[in-house]
Protein backbone atom coordinates (compact mmCIF):
# COMPACT_ATOMS: atom_id res chain seq x y z
CA UNK A 1 0.00 0.00 0.00
CA UNK A 2 1.21 3.51 -0.78
CA UNK A 3 1.92 5.22 2.54
CA UNK A 4 2.17 8.74 1.16
CA UNK A 5 -1.60 9.21 1.43
CA UNK A 6 -3.29 9.86 4.72
CA UNK A 7 -6.54 8.19 5.71
CA UNK A 8 -6.51 5.31 3.22
CA UNK A 9 -9.15 2.95 4.58
CA UNK A 10 -8.80 -0.69 3.61
CA UNK A 11 -11.63 -2.18 5.63
CA UNK A 12 -14.74 -1.09 7.51
CA UNK A 13 -16.07 -3.86 9.75
CA UNK A 14 -19.85 -3.65 10.19
CA UNK A 15 -20.34 -6.74 12.37
CA UNK A 16 -18.86 -10.21 12.69
CA UNK A 17 -20.38 -11.30 9.37
CA UNK A 18 -20.44 -8.15 7.23
CA UNK A 19 -17.60 -5.89 6.15
CA UNK A 20 -16.50 -3.48 3.47
CA UNK A 21 -13.09 -3.90 1.85
CA UNK A 22 -11.42 -1.38 -0.41
CA UNK A 23 -11.30 -2.55 -4.00
CA UNK A 24 -8.08 -4.32 -4.85
CA UNK A 25 -6.73 -6.27 -7.79
CA UNK A 26 -6.87 -9.48 -5.75
CA UNK A 27 -10.68 -9.35 -5.98
CA UNK A 28 -10.88 -8.78 -9.76
CA UNK A 29 -11.77 -12.37 -10.79
CA UNK A 30 -14.52 -12.63 -8.17
CA UNK A 31 -15.86 -9.13 -8.95
CA UNK A 32 -15.84 -9.82 -12.68
CA UNK A 33 -17.84 -13.03 -12.20
CA UNK A 34 -20.37 -11.14 -10.07
CA UNK A 35 -20.71 -8.39 -12.72
CA UNK A 36 -21.25 -10.98 -15.46
CA UNK A 37 -23.79 -12.89 -13.35
CA UNK A 38 -25.78 -9.68 -12.72
CA UNK A 39 -25.19 -7.91 -16.03
CA UNK A 40 -28.76 -8.09 -17.31
CA UNK A 41 -30.30 -6.60 -14.18
CA UNK A 42 -27.48 -4.04 -13.76
CA UNK A 43 -28.04 -2.66 -17.26
CA UNK A 44 -31.54 -1.58 -16.23
CA UNK A 45 -30.07 1.04 -13.92
CA UNK A 46 -26.40 1.53 -14.87
CA UNK A 47 -24.63 2.35 -18.13
CA UNK A 48 -21.21 0.79 -17.55
CA UNK A 49 -22.06 -2.98 -17.48
CA UNK A 50 -22.46 -3.10 -21.25
CA UNK A 51 -18.77 -2.20 -21.60
CA UNK A 52 -17.52 -4.97 -19.29
CA UNK A 53 -16.67 -7.81 -21.63
CA UNK A 54 -13.43 -9.33 -20.32
CA UNK A 55 -11.84 -9.66 -16.92
CA UNK A 56 -9.28 -7.08 -18.03
CA UNK A 57 -12.11 -4.50 -18.29
CA UNK A 58 -12.90 -5.12 -14.62
CA UNK A 59 -9.19 -4.98 -13.74
CA UNK A 60 -8.75 -1.57 -15.40
CA UNK A 61 -11.79 -0.24 -13.53
CA UNK A 62 -10.46 -1.49 -10.21
CA UNK A 63 -6.98 -0.10 -10.90
CA UNK A 64 -8.45 3.34 -11.61
CA UNK A 65 -10.58 3.18 -8.48
CA UNK A 66 -7.61 2.19 -6.32
CA UNK A 67 -5.74 5.34 -7.44
CA UNK A 68 -8.79 7.56 -6.83
CA UNK A 69 -9.31 5.89 -3.44
CA UNK A 70 -5.71 6.58 -2.41
CA UNK A 71 -5.98 10.20 -3.48
CA UNK A 72 -9.33 10.71 -1.74
CA UNK A 73 -11.37 11.64 -4.84
CA UNK A 74 -13.49 8.47 -4.86
CA UNK A 75 -13.72 5.29 -2.81
CA UNK A 76 -14.82 1.87 -4.00
CA UNK A 77 -15.63 -0.76 -1.40
CA UNK A 78 -16.65 -4.35 -1.95
CA UNK A 79 -19.35 -5.69 0.35
CA UNK A 80 -18.56 -9.08 1.90
CA UNK A 81 -21.08 -11.17 3.83
CA UNK A 82 -19.47 -14.17 5.57
CA UNK A 83 -16.39 -13.64 3.37
CA UNK A 84 -18.44 -13.89 0.15
CA UNK A 85 -18.50 -10.91 -2.23
CA UNK A 86 -22.13 -9.73 -2.44
CA UNK A 87 -21.99 -6.17 -3.76
CA UNK A 88 -20.28 -2.84 -4.28
CA UNK A 89 -20.74 0.48 -2.52
CA UNK A 90 -18.73 3.54 -3.40
CA UNK A 91 -18.24 7.22 -3.33
CA UNK A 92 -18.25 7.72 -7.10
CA UNK A 93 -17.05 11.25 -6.52
CA UNK A 94 -15.74 13.07 -3.47
CA UNK A 95 -15.57 16.85 -3.33
CA UNK A 96 -12.97 17.32 -0.57
CA UNK A 97 -13.43 21.09 -0.22
CA UNK A 98 -17.20 20.67 0.18
CA UNK A 99 -16.85 17.49 2.28
CA UNK A 100 -19.40 15.87 0.00
CA UNK A 101 -19.52 12.27 -1.23
CA UNK A 102 -21.72 10.98 -4.07
CA UNK A 103 -22.76 7.40 -3.35
CA UNK A 104 -23.35 4.52 -5.73
CA UNK A 105 -24.19 0.91 -4.91
CA UNK A 106 -25.39 -2.40 -6.24
CA UNK A 107 -25.91 -5.88 -4.86
CA UNK A 108 -25.68 -9.35 -6.29
CA UNK A 109 -29.25 -10.28 -7.19
CA UNK A 110 -29.24 -13.28 -4.82
CA UNK A 111 -28.47 -11.03 -1.84
CA UNK A 112 -31.17 -8.40 -2.21
CA UNK A 113 -33.84 -8.00 0.43
CA UNK A 114 -31.61 -9.02 3.36
CA UNK A 115 -30.78 -5.53 4.65
CA UNK A 116 -27.14 -5.84 3.60
CA UNK A 117 -27.11 -2.69 1.51
CA UNK A 118 -28.63 -0.53 4.25
CA UNK A 119 -26.08 -1.81 6.79
CA UNK A 120 -23.24 -1.16 4.34
CA UNK A 121 -24.55 2.32 3.53
CA UNK A 122 -24.92 3.27 7.20
CA UNK A 123 -21.42 2.01 8.01
CA UNK A 124 -19.89 3.85 5.05
CA UNK A 125 -21.47 7.21 5.80
CA UNK A 126 -20.93 7.05 9.57
CA UNK A 127 -17.30 6.03 9.22
CA UNK A 128 -16.56 8.97 6.93
CA UNK A 129 -18.68 11.43 8.94
CA UNK A 130 -17.03 10.41 12.22
CA UNK A 131 -13.58 10.85 10.66
CA UNK A 132 -14.54 14.41 9.69
CA UNK A 133 -13.66 13.67 6.07
CA UNK A 134 -17.23 14.06 4.82
CA UNK A 135 -20.40 15.65 6.15
CA UNK A 136 -22.76 15.71 3.16
CA UNK A 137 -23.80 12.52 1.41
CA UNK A 138 -25.64 12.44 -1.92
CA UNK A 139 -27.48 9.72 -3.79
CA UNK A 140 -28.62 10.36 -7.36
CA UNK A 141 -30.86 7.79 -9.00
CA UNK A 142 -33.35 7.58 -11.83
CA UNK A 143 -36.88 8.47 -10.80
CA UNK A 144 -37.97 5.14 -12.31
CA UNK A 145 -35.52 3.15 -10.17
CA UNK A 146 -37.90 2.38 -7.29
CA UNK A 147 -35.45 0.17 -5.40
CA UNK A 148 -32.69 2.78 -5.30
CA UNK A 149 -35.11 5.53 -4.31
CA UNK A 150 -36.32 3.34 -1.43
CA UNK A 151 -32.74 2.69 -0.27
CA UNK A 152 -32.20 6.46 0.01
CA UNK A 153 -35.45 7.07 1.88
CA UNK A 154 -35.01 4.10 4.25
CA UNK A 155 -31.57 5.38 5.21
CA UNK A 156 -32.45 8.92 6.25
CA UNK A 157 -31.82 10.74 2.97
CA UNK A 158 -34.14 13.58 2.01
CA UNK A 159 -35.36 14.19 -1.51
CA UNK A 160 -33.83 17.52 -2.53
CA UNK A 161 -35.11 17.72 -6.07
CA UNK A 162 -35.41 16.21 -9.50
CA UNK A 163 -32.84 16.76 -12.23
CA UNK A 164 -34.61 16.70 -15.58
CA UNK A 165 -33.16 14.40 -18.23
CA UNK A 166 -29.92 14.17 -16.24
CA UNK A 167 -29.03 10.53 -16.89
CA UNK A 168 -28.42 8.90 -20.27
CA UNK A 169 -29.15 5.19 -20.07
CA UNK A 170 -29.92 2.63 -22.76
CA UNK A 171 -30.31 5.27 -25.46
CA UNK A 172 -32.66 7.57 -23.51
CA UNK A 173 -32.44 10.52 -21.16
CA UNK A 174 -34.06 9.97 -17.77
CA UNK A 175 -35.04 12.23 -14.88
CA UNK A 176 -32.96 11.74 -11.79
CA UNK A 177 -33.87 12.26 -8.13
CA UNK A 178 -31.22 13.77 -5.90
CA UNK A 179 -31.19 12.85 -2.22
CA UNK A 180 -29.03 14.36 0.49
CA UNK A 181 -28.10 13.63 4.05
CA UNK A 182 -25.92 15.75 6.30
CA UNK A 183 -24.16 14.29 9.31
CA UNK A 184 -22.21 16.66 11.51
CA UNK A 185 -19.13 15.26 13.22
CA UNK A 186 -19.73 14.60 16.90
CA UNK A 187 -17.46 16.59 19.16
| Per-residue pLDDT tens digits for 121-154 | 999 999 999 999 999 999 999 999 999 999 999 9
Measured between alpha carbons, how far is 46 from 95 in angstroms, rounded to an integer? 22
Residue 1: pLDDT over 80 = no
Residue 7: pLDDT over 80 = no
Cβ neighbours of residue 40 under 8 Å, at least 6 residues apart? none
Q: What is the pLDDT of residues 70-86, one digit of tens each?
A: 888 999 999 999 999 99
DSSP letter, residue 73: S
If one compares 4 and 25, the residue with the highest pLDDT of the two is 25
Measured between alpha carbons, how far is 22 from 78 in angstroms, rounded to an integer? 6
The answer as to whether 126 is a domain residue is yes
Phi, psi of 142, deg, nearest 5: -60, 140
pLDDT at 9: 59
Q: What is the pLDDT of residues 85-104, one digit of tens each?
A: 999 999 999 999 999 999 99
DSSP 2-56: -TTSSS---EEE-SSSEEEEE--GGGHHHHHHHHHHHHHHHTTT-SGGGG--SHH
The answer as to whether 130 is a domain residue is yes
The answer as to whether 4 is a domain residue is no
Of the candidates 67, 63, 155, 64, the residue with the CA atom closest to the CA atom of residue 105: 155
Measured between alpha carbons, how far is 62 from 85 in angstroms, rounded to an integer? 15
Confidence bin at 3 (pLDDT 50/70/90): very low
The answer as to whether 3 is a domain residue is no
pLDDT at 51: 84
pLDDT at 186: 55
Residue 187: pLDDT over 50 = no
Residue 8: pLDDT over 80 = no
pLDDT at 184: 82
The answer as to whether 2 is a domain residue is no
3-state secondary structure of 156: coil
Measured between alpha carbons, how far is 86 from 88 in angstroms, rounded to an integer? 7
H helix or E strand, kind and range, residue 95: strand 84-95
Domain that holds residue 103: 11-182
- CB 93, CB 149: distance < 8 Å: no
Of the candidates 1, 52, 43, the residue with the CA atom closest to the CA atom of residue 25: 1
Q: What is the CATH number of the domain that holds 47?
A: 3.40.630.30
The answer as to whether 6 is a domain residue is no
Measured between alpha carbons, how far is 65 from 70 in angstroms, rounded to an integer? 8
Q: What is the pLDDT of residues 48-64, one digit of tens each?
A: 888 889 999 999 999 99
The answer as to whether 177 is a domain residue is yes
Of the candidates 92, 89, 84, 105, the residue with the CA atom closest to the CA atom of residue 42: 105
User: Number of structural domains, the chain?
Assistant: 1
Amino acid sequence: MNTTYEHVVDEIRINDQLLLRAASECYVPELHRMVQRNKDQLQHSLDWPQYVKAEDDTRKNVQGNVILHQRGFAKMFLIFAREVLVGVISFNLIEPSNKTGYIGYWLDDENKGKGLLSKALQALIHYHADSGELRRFVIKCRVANEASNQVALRNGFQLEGCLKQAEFLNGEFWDQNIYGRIIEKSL
